[in-house]
Structures are given as C-alpha cells and as structure tokens.
Structure 1
Amino acid sequence: MEATGVLAYIIGFFVMSAAFVSVVIFLENRDPSRTIAWLLVLLLFPVVGFVIYILFGQNMKKKKIFKIQKLFSEINANKIFESIQNFENLITIQKQAIMEDLVFYDPDINIKRRVMNLLLNTGRAPFTLNNSVKILNSGEEKFKALFEDIRNAKRHIHLEYYIIKDSQIGRAVKELLIEKAREGIQIRLLYDDVGCWNLWFKRSFFDEMRECGIKVAPFLPVKLPFLNRRLNYRNHRKIVVIDGKIGYVGGINIGDEYLGKDEKFGYWRDTHMRIEGEAVYMLQLTFLLDWYFSTKEKLFSTCYFPAISYCGHNVMQIVASGPDSDWEAIHQAYFTAISQAKRMIYIQTPYFIPDDSLLVALRTAALSGVDVRIMFPGKPDHKIVYHASLSYFESILKSGGKVFLYDEKGFLHSKVMVVDDDIASVGTANMDLRSFMINFEINGFIYDKEIVNSLKQDFLNDQLRCKEITLEEYHNRPMLQKLKGSYARLFSPIL
C-alpha cells in the first residue's frame, strides 16, 4: 500500500509539474507550432514529457548564458582587428559597396546583393574576394588534404568538432596532433560535450593529448547528462584553422563512418570545403569566440590573423549562427535565396524539417516554374527525424518539385544548397529547425560561378545514384510508413 502511495505521489508531482510547465510555455509566446507541439507532449506523456522538456525544451535566456555580444564590444574597443581592416568598419564599407553596385558588374545580381547584404546585417559576416576554395566530396578527400596541411603547419592548429570518436581515424588524428605538438606547434581542440558522449568514459583519449601540451576543452559541458538544460544547445560546427591561412568547414566529423567504414551506412557521401584566403579570418574568429566562451581565454592577437597574399578570386561569406545571436542568419539567408530564385534550387540534406516560411518559399518557387530538387538519404540514421522529414515531401511534390532518395547502399550527409548558378551554401547546417534555431552552426555562402557550377555538377552526379519519388509513389507507400510520418510530424517543431 505504501509503495502504491509513493507511486501515486510521484506521478502526481510530475503531472502538476507538467501543468506548471505548460503555463510557462504558453506565456513565453514562442512560435505557435512549437508551443502546440510541447503542450501535446506534456498532455500525452505528462511524466516522460516533463523530463523531455527539462532536457530539451527550456528556452535559455541568451543574455544570461551567451555573452558573445559583450566580447564583440571588447574586440572593437581594443582595436584588435586593425590588421584586417577593422571588423565593424569593414562591414559598413561593404554595405555601401553593395548598395552602389561596386561588387558585381553583372546586371542580374539581385539575389547575390540581397543575400550578401542580409548576412552583413544579421551574421556580422563580411564577404571576402581573395580566396581559393576546393570542394571535398568524401571523408577520404577531406582527411587526406587535412593531414597534409597539419603536417605542414608552422605556428598553430585550431580544431572544433561536434563529433570525435575513438576510432581508427580519430586515433590517427590524435597521433598526428601529438606529433606536431612535440614539434612546438600550438594546438587547441574544442569538442562538443554531447556530440562526443562516446568519450565520456574514455577520458584517456583527450588526456593523452593534454599530456603533450595540446589544449583541449569541451563546449557547454554537461555535468548531469540526464538533467541539464544545456543538453539542448549544442555546437554542431566543424572547423579547422591552420596558421590562420588555411581553413576547413563542412559536414564531416571525425569518425570511421565518415570514411564509409560503417556496415550499416556503407559509403558516406558528404561535402566539405578547404579554403585558402581571407575567408579563413572568419573561421578563425568563430573558433576564437567559441574558445573564449568555453575557456575564458582571450586569443585575439594579430598573430592569429596574418597578412594573406593573393590566393584566388572566389567570393564568399563565412556565416556563423546560433542561440548567441539575435538573428537566425543562415535560416534567413536560405529563405532570401529561395524566394529570389528564378531558375533552379538544388538542396542536399540528411534531415528535412523546414518551418512554414521555408516550406512556403520552396512550394512557391516550384509553382512559379523554378526547378526545385531535394536530395535526401534513402535510409534513416535517426528514425523519428527521418519519418518526420518524409512527411514534408508531399507538398513539395504537389507543387511540382522533385525529390530524390540517395542510394540505399550509401548515406547522404551533405548540407548543400545551390540557387540559380549564382549562389551556393556549404556548411554544417541541416535543413531543419534544430540547425536554424537551436544549434551553433557555420556555413560558407559562395558567390563564385566556378565553385557554384562545380557544386551543381556534383548534385547532378549524385542524382545518378538516386531514386526519384513521384507523387503517385509517395501516395502508394505502405500505410505503416504513412502513420509513422504523421506521428513523427506532430513532434517536428521540437526535434
């Protein structure tokens, strides 16, 4: 009888807590779809739903937890960006240059102008003209190039990853970094504490690096993994900066699956960029801000922003977004580019959970005759997200857009968008609400026709390994799959 009474008391506590949380959510005036989704979770699963909300649902106050804006004021006050034309002044100058058409001489550049100006305003992201960009389409290409650059490093190596695994490639990276540290190279490694959960019980992996002088730090460490509101705000970025002159950014983490060695997924199709030039300044800045946030160590010496000679003519902006910003810069840039498209929109993404604005923009583009194509994995890695994603394809197909499922013998993890042969985006952000509104992400927006056309051709080559889904096939899929999609979509605003 006593046990029954205790159980009733516990259940009653959770139910009352869920009711209280429901009122809090309602009064926060969030997006209506997210409010309804959370209320639905708490109504249907008052006990489990309360725990899920504690872990993933709390709306952390940006000003209390993320103080990056304050740091920007310190940076400007100390004039540490004099070597790269003074950060804020550079943005002001570039806004004026765009308004006066001093950047592009092509009369049909409205989409570029709109996106570039938007990112100057929302992402504090100056565009750079002096860059050489190489697209890397697999883990093999990325790690081959990265290892060579690390071996040639002369001063410092900065790495920031969402996932690092104690794997064959992970150990190879560790051994190479230890070798360079023993040569006297300054090395810092920032990892996401939740993304690297597999190393919670393998601390020796990082300890071996620390013993050799490598500085290693977790981003937003989770001390109580199952009861911590920080669990929801993760650093999904993948950045490497070498000597302040060479940078890497894209979708490839450090794990054997990214080399196609996972039996479940097989060949892993991903996209990464190797950058030489002034765009590396912004990768460096993003890393140093994240490092400061995690360690309180200020590293804004001009030695991390060395003078860069001519590298190439690729025009691009590096854009970081996350809960530390007042604007959803990558999300808004995607919306602007899609809504301005005149000819084609090609998207590769492992997850497809757009908000209403992006979905309407894509449907409107397709209905107006724009060639809209979305490429998506043929097999799931996260089932509920996968089925929720599939549920959004009906409206795309009805509007005249095309959907391609990537070869089931491989897995598609690329985060790429190409619009009108004029603009492309490659980075860490998926086409989903978590990437756009919750995680810390970083993308490169490219305005160089040579690189944009290369990414377009990569998409068309990948399309040869895909199965196109017609609207009829979509409607005729098994009933169980339809039910899974409908159920998963209910929770899509909080996935």
Structure 2
Amino acid sequence: MDGTLLANLIWAIAFFADLAIKVLALIFIPRHRKPTAAMAWLLAIFLIPFVGILLFLLIGNFRLPKKRRDEQARIDSLIKGRAANAGSVIADESTWPRWFQRIAQQNEDLTALPALGGNDATLYGDYQASIDAMAAEIERAQKWVHVEFFIVSWDDTTRRFFSAMEQAVARGVSVRLLADHISSRKMAHSKETFAELDRIGVKWEWMLPVMPFKGKYQRPDLRNHRKIVVVDGRVAFLGSQNLIDRTYNSEKNIKRGLKWQELVTRLTGPVVASVNAVFLSDWLIETGENLLDTEHLPAKDVVASTSADALVCQVVPSGPGYQTENNLRLFLSLIYGATEKVILTSPYFVPDEAMVYAITTACQRGLEVQLFVSEIGDQGLVYHAQRSYYDALLEAGVKIFLYPAPYILHSKHFSIDDDIAVIGSSNMDIRSFSLNMEVSLMVLGESFVAGMREVEQGYRDAGRQLTLEEWKREPGKATFLDGIARLTSAVN
C-alpha cells in the first residue's frame, strides 16, 4: 500500500474514532450526573479524548455495583423494621423547632435510622487520649467488639488498642474489624498489621476490596471512610480519627513534621444501637454474615440517660450505596435552617455549588459564619482546590481561620446556632458527598455544642484569621494553580 494512502487512512480512522468518542460522550456522560461533573468529564475527553475516555471507563461510575446497592436497600428495610420497635427512646419531637423536625424526618427517610433521645457524649481532641479511651472500653468488653476504620495500623500509638483486642479475644469476646482495602494496604507495615490481627484472633475483613480476579470490583477510588468502635452495644465512638499514629507512619509526613489533629466523640445511650447498625450493615455487605440477632443490642434495651442535659442524636450514614447524597442534604438543610451562626471545620473543603450557595447565603442573611481549615496541606491537588474558594467566601463575609503548621486539622464537624452540631467522618468536599462511604452524627443539645465551642476556641487560639486583604496579595501563580485544581475536583 502506498505510504501516503496508508497515512491518510490512519488519519481518517483516528479522526472518526475521536469524533465517535466525543459524540458518545455528549450522549451518555450528562445522564444522571451534575452539570459540573459532566462538564469536567467532557472537558477531559474533548482535550485528551483517548486518555480521557480510558479514565472515564476506569473511574466514571460513581455508584457501587447494583448488587451492593440492592443489598444496602434490603438492610435498610431490616433496620427500619427494628427501629419501629424502639418505643419510648424515639425522641419527643414536640420540643424541637419545626424545621429541625423536618430534617430528622429527612434523615430517617434516607437512612432508616431515627433520632433517639436519652444520650450522653464526650468529646476527645487529644489524639492518644481518644485511642486510649477506645482501648479502655475494649478492655471492659464482655460480649462483642466492633471496629471499623478507613485506615488500620499496628504501631506504637495503637499498640494498647491491639492489646485490648487480644485480651478480649482471650476472654471469649467476639472481636470483629473492618478496614478499607486500598487505604489500609498502602500504609507502611500493613502486612505486619493484618498478620497481628490474625495472630490475636480478630475476625477481620476488607471493605470495598478491589480484587477483580476474585469477583470483587467497583470503581477503585470509591472508599469506605467511616471510623467506628462499638463495645457490647453500650458505648460507641465515631469521628475523624483513623487507627494509626498521627504521622500516618509516612516518611514524607515525618520529614515535614506533619501531625494530624482530630475530634472524636464517645457515646452512650440508645444511639449506640444506630452506630452499631452501620457497622453491622457494612459487615453484612462485605461478608454475607447477618449479626443483627446475635451482636446487636436494640435501642429500646440500651440504658437511656435521664439527665437534664441528655442529647437527641441521629446517625446519618452516606455513600455511593445510597440513591442520594445523604450527608450533603443534611449539611445543606442545617445551614439553611440556622438563625444565628454557622461554624464549620473541614480538612478538605472542596464544596459543590449548592454548599457554596448555602454558606454565602447564610452570610447574606446576617449570620456569623466561620470556617476552620489547615494552613498547610498534605494533598497538593486538594489543598489548591480548597484555596480556590477562599476569595468568594471572604468576599461574602465568611471568617476563615487557619490552623497552624505542622498540624493538619483533620477534624470534621460543624455547629449551628447554640444547640445543634454534626460530627463524623465526612469532609465538606465532593469526594465525601459522592464517592466515600461516610457516617455523620447529628446532635441536638446545648451542652454538646458548648463543648464544641471550646474546641473551636482552641482552634482560634492556636491559629490565625485569614483576611480578605491578605488573600488579595496572594501571587498570581498560586491562584492559577488553585483554579486548575478546582477544575479537577468536579470529576466524580
């Protein structure tokens, strides 16, 4: 074949392949996808068509496989049936503001978990103290222990926790542990960690395993980001902290001197049953083993607090196993319902348009709005994407406080007015809204918010406020990188 003819043929094939990719992208990508996400994918495919389409085929499906979503729906039905028998521990709605009643109902409709009264909570802002508190409860365990973390590591920081699990197993206590597959496996000394779990007799399983040759596969960057510990159905912990040293045992972090700052809450009361239901759901999905009848204490059987400061609590799981973004809907509803102040803490603050509008609208309604973030970042792309929102937020009147280096403020919580708060594993970013499995706790109670106010004041005292005047002096090169990073954040 003539060389010129061959070249023209190759060019024609490439041209029509490129055209076909773009036409098909325009047809299929916008379906059931937010406009910003669709535009980001289309931009990638139009600029780099062959690479873009390969990336889309690899990570373009932001939902779990249908089988897993159907299983989540079935489990929610089981939970809903049991919650209907919770009886008197269902919180008395008559004392709530009407808008808050609606939010609690929204959460229950989406997750099957009701708001429950009669709870107590303690906040832990000290990294080692929170892990030691969990270990102390495991040391007192009599029946079962449920542990679920995005990242699990056996190191000097977690050694007492592992020892407590070993002692519990030796006493005949059932100890089960879930760890996110990709995130835990990539940690230093992961083989030693899970060999230790085997040695001490803990029953453990991977969450969202990416094992295509074993028939276990979904989009590889869909992760289970939850952090939960439940002991005997009487006490639970949840928050932002992983089961690992605060440097994450990373040579890069140690070289930079980075340390993670967290916030965890210890819970007692009927809501512990809801926290446990989240663990049991994940265990059932990953293993096929139903523990609802053997390792679950129903809310009606949990001792409820009679204190005047007893809290109303509602657990809100979220993630790609659900039909909608439960956490985002919760956050938006609370911000729009606020009447006095909104105080947000998120390490990776990359909101979608709806969240930006909610926050800036709160400022326009005359509310006090504050945002706590880290002064430095541990993930370059996310850090720059986060910074791209500072200008609009500062212009709207949001007060931004920077937590100082070498700490990464990894806490995830916010407070509304003086009586409502949320704490959990969810960042205020598009990844946590759409791609990660998260768990949040909504709390109604002035005493809990007062404790959170002390934590927030500690952030102010440690850090500094970023002003609009200071931000305007940022060099163009830095803000250019921020804008580019922001474009990538919409790809989900």
* Same-fold call, TM cutoff 0.5: yes
2:228 matched residue in structure 1 = 239
Secondary structure, in 3 states, of the residue corresponding to 1:86? coil
> Partner amino acid for 1:465?
A
Asked whether 1:353 is paired with 2:350, we answer yes
Structure 2 segments unaligned to the other structure (5+ residues): none
Percent of counterpart pairs with the same letter?
A: 27
Asked whether 1:133 is paired with 2:121, we answer yes
Residues 251, 415 of structure 1: 8 Å contact kept? yes
1:35 matched residue in structure 2 = 38
Asked whether 1:57 is paired with 2:49, we answer no
1:215-364 matches, cutoff 5 A: 215-223=203-211, 229-257=218-246, 262-263=253-254, 264-301=256-293, 303-305=295-297, 307-311=301-305, 312=307, 313-364=310-361
1:70 matched residue in structure 2 = 74
**1:246-294 Cα shifts (integer Å, max 9, x gaps):** 1010000011126999533544321111111111101111100100000
**1:192-235 Cα shifts (integer Å, max 9, x gaps):** 1122132598434323323443211001211259x964313211
| 374-383 or 115-124, which deviates more | 115-124
State the distance in 2 between where 1:152 and 1:133 align.
19
> Partner amino acid for 2:228?
I
> Partner amino acid for 2:73?
Q
Residues 192, 218 of structure 1: 8 Å contact kept? yes
- Report the Cα offset of residue 62 of structure 1: 5.6
Q: 1:468 to 1:324 in 2, by over 3 A?
A: same
Residues 55, 228 of structure 1: 8 Å contact kept? no
Residues 123, 327 of structure 1: 8 Å contact kept? no
> Partner amino acid for 1:153?
A
- Report the Cα offset of residue 12 of structure 1: 8.9
Residues 136, 273 of structure 1: 8 Å contact kept? yes
1:163-242 matches, cutoff 5 A: 163-198=151-186, 202-223=190-211, 229-242=218-231
State the distance in 2 between where 1:234 and 1:286 align.
15
- Report the Cα offset of residue 467 of structure 1: 2.0
Q: 1:202 to 1:356 in 2, by over 3 A?
A: closer
Q: Aligned residue pairs: how many?
A: 475
1:405 matched residue in structure 2 = 402
- Report the Cα offset of residue 389 of structure 1: 0.8
Asked whether 1:465 is paired with 2:468, we answer no
> Partner amino acid for 1:336?
S
Secondary structure, in 3 states, of the residue corresponding to 1:398? helix
State the distance in 2 between where 1:260 and 1:455 align.
29
- Report the Cα offset of residue 314 of structure 1: 1.7
Residues 319, 330 of structure 1: 8 Å contact kept? yes
State the distance in 1 between where 2:14 and 2:197 align.
47
Residues 292, 298 of structure 1: 8 Å contact kept? yes
Secondary structure, in 3 states, of the residue corresponding to 1:489? helix
State the distance in 1 between where 2:317 and 2:127 align.
23
Q: Aligned Cα RMSD in Å?
A: 3.1
**1:333-362 Cα shifts (integer Å, max 9, x gaps):** 111111121111100100111111111111
Residues 269, 411 of structure 1: 8 Å contact kept? yes
> Partner amino acid for 1:491?
T
State the distance in 2 between where 1:161 and 1:17 align.
43
> Partner amino acid for 2:260?
W
Residues 139, 258 of structure 1: 8 Å contact kept? no
Residues 347, 410 of structure 2: 8 Å contact kept? yes
1:492 matched residue in structure 2 = 489
1:156 matched residue in structure 2 = 144
> Partner amino acid for 1:22?
A
Q: 1:268 to 1:17 in 2, by over 3 A?
A: farther
Asked whether 1:419 is paired with 2:416, we answer yes
State the distance in 2 between where 1:317 and 1:17 align.
49
> Partner amino acid for 2:371?
I
State the distance in 1 between where 2:249 and 2:422 align.
24
| 27-36 or 149-158, which deviates more | 27-36
| 293-302 or 112-121, which deviates more | 112-121
State the distance in 2 between where 1:342 and 1:494 align.
34
State the distance in 2 between where 1:223 and 1:51 align.
20
Secondary structure, in 3 states, of the residue corresponding to 1:310? coil
Structure 1 segments unaligned to the other structure (5+ residues): none
**1:116-165 Cα shifts (integer Å, max 9, x gaps):** 23212223221111111000112112112111111111111100110113
State the distance in 1 between where 2:155 and 2:13 align.
42
- Report the Cα offset of residue 71 of structure 1: 3.0
Residues 64, 219 of structure 2: 8 Å contact kept? no
Q: 1:214 to 1:480 in 2, by over 3 A?
A: same
| 341-350 or 179-188, which deviates more | 179-188
TM-score of the aligned structures, taking structure 1 as reference length = 0.87
